[in-house]
Amino acid sequence: MRHEELYQPWGTVTPAFWESSGAPQPAAASPYAAPVEEVPRTVHEQLSAIAAAAAAGQHAEASAQAHRLDEEITAQYGESHLHTVHIREVRAHIAHLAEDHSAAVGWYLHTARLRAAVQGNDHPDTEHATLLVYSLWRALPTADSVRLGGDLLATVTDLYGPDAPLAARTRRRLTSLTASSSA
């Protein structure tokens, strides 16, 4: 079967055109669509250096570089900006690689709350951030899970409410861990 080219009419297509033509309506823009701001080249270069240090096991150096970049980005863009969120997620990841569980969970909880403030509680990236910290928390040794579980539960409850499925799962797991560690 030969496919014919479709030639569109000249001019501006208005909503009235779509309604009268019987053609499918164009998809509505996603409520989460936002203009993407390009990350400056110097930031990419610094992130590459941080990644190289972390990959080489130089977690202290990677953490120091990430701290400096965080200060730079926060000064330039402010606390409530996605560039700030991203570098703080890098800091969380470095802490995780260094097995600093308290810092990793703390940073990831911080970035989940920042994402909620910047993008909204129901944004897919915010939901992903909270699931990520929950998954990390579940993988921690029991003592760390018990110690850090209250902060996770408080954040999840603040973002989604006490009856949200993630809050309920966190509460059940924390209760179970607390009971098993005190036995």
CA distances from 113 to 14, 28, 67, 87, 131 (A): 40, 28, 19, 14, 12
pTM over 0.85: no
Q: Regarding the domain delimited by 42-50+58-182, which CATH topology (the fold level of the hierarchy) does it fall under? A: 1.25.40
Residue pointed to by tokens 């972390």: 54
For residue range 6-60, what is the model confidence (pLDDT) as tens digits? 444 454 545 554 455 555 554 455 555 555 567 778 888 999 999 999 999 999 9
Please report the pLDDT score of residue 46 as a whole number. Answer: 92
Residue boundaries of the structural domains of the chain: 42-50+58-182
